[in-house]
Structure 1
Amino acid sequence: MSIVRESDLIGIGKKYQIETEAGDNMVVVIHDDGKRELYRHENLENETHCVMTLSDEESRQVAGILGGLSYKPKALETIEVALDDLRIEWYKFEALDDEVNKTIGQLEVRQRTGVSIIAAIKAGDTVINPGPDYVIEAGVTLVIAGKAKNIKLLKEILL
């Protein structure tokens, strides 16, 4: 597990120092205007070098990429992320699922389970926060968020 240290930069924003499991050291500075700067800390030279500067929108795009919203490695087909009581899981629909080719609204996902579908990914195309008219087709991977018991209920309904 990585170590993250957070500190305020008065008049600038926040600074996050991150030490990864691999032993890399990185500093992320989030400016009050939304700009982000990434620095790599060189232990041997005890220096930090700015690696890149990102706008707020670019930072969110990179966060989505790193978080797996655009692409999920095959080895992580059943990945789940737990944040307190909230879970985020990726669920890939296969051709045999009974509920394929129905809309989110027809399935009444949120009303029946309390789960939110936060993204739908198919063939490299990502739809963020698909609406009730979104048709769930074979091969689509849904990014779903909710409590573990609610996600289990959704999977039971869909299977």
Structure 2
Amino acid sequence: MNLKETDLPGTGKKFEIETRSGEKLTITIYDDGRREVYHYGADNPEDSISKISLTDEEARYVSAIIGGVTYKPTPLENIEVALGDLIIEWYKLEPHYKAIGKTIGELRVRQRSSATIIAVVESNHSKHINPGPDLLLTAGALVVVIGERLHQQQIRQILLNGSA
């Protein structure tokens, strides 16, 4: 992300933001409190796709929404769903995890933790529902596990260290 800030003497200030995707957002804050927001596509950074004008109050409200004051999203791999004492957790296999390159059977997940891997979603989005012991775990995969809190702690260690 690139950010460019420009003073507009007697008028306000202009901010230009270029996103990772190559899109551009220009926000002009006028001294009277108005804001103008322009959106430019990656394919034509000179012609705006859209424009919106906001009052000071509207801009502050939108800012709170975007900034996560009113709602903070929870990344999928951090969500817990409680089912009595059972918890479903998502673990993203980071490149340094010792479980990478091993099968579920080699790790002896059920025997060592009493937790069950109920799904694995590969980084290429292919899904393995109720995977068997022969499934090889790969970097970037999302492993969905059901078990009690203690079981979740044990499987976390198995995935990270290759042992409980």
Query: TM-score normalised to the size of structure 1?
Result: 0.52
Distance 2:116 2:110 in 1: 6
Mapping of residues 28-67 of structure 1, within 5 Å: none
Distance 2:99 2:76 in 1: 23
Question: Rg bigger for which structure?
Answer: 2
Residue identity matched to 2:141: V
RMSD over equivalenced CA pairs, Å: 1.4
Aligned residue in 2 for 1:142: 143
Shift of 1:116: 0.3
Shift of 1:157: 2.5
Q: Is 2:79 the partner of 1:79?
A: yes
Distance 2:118 2:75 in 1: 21
Shift of 1:149: 0.5
Distance 2:131 2:74 in 1: 23
Residue identity matched to 1:135: L
Residue identity matched to 1:130: P
Residue identity matched to 1:155: R
Shift of 1:99: 1.5
Residue identity matched to 1:77: E
Aligned residue in 2 for 1:105: 105
Distance 1:76 1:129 in 2: 19
Distance 1:87 1:113 in 2: 14
Shift of 1:77: 2.5
Aligned residue in 1 for 2:134: 133
On the 8 A contact 2:77/2:142 being kept in 1, the answer is no
Residue identity matched to 1:105: G
Cα distance change on mapping 1:126 and 1:74 into 2, 3 Å: farther
Aligned residue in 1 for 2:89: 89
Shift of 1:76: 2.9
Greater per-residue strand proportion:
1
Residues 80-125 of structure 1: CA deviation (Å, up to 9, x unaligned)? 1001001001101011111211000000000000000000001221
Aligned residue in 2 for 1:119: 119
Could you tell me which runs of 5 or more consecutive residues in structure 1 were left unpaired when the two chains were aligned. 1-72
Shift of 1:131: 0.2
Aligned residue in 1 for 2:159: 158
Aligned to 1:135, the other structure's residue is in SS state: coil
Shift of 1:74: 7.2
Cα distance change on mapping 1:157 and 1:96 into 2, 3 Å: same
Could you tell me which runs of 5 or more consecutive residues in structure 2 were left unpaired when the two chains were aligned. 1-72
Distance 2:128 2:108 in 1: 19
Query: TM-score normalised to the size of structure 2?
Result: 0.51
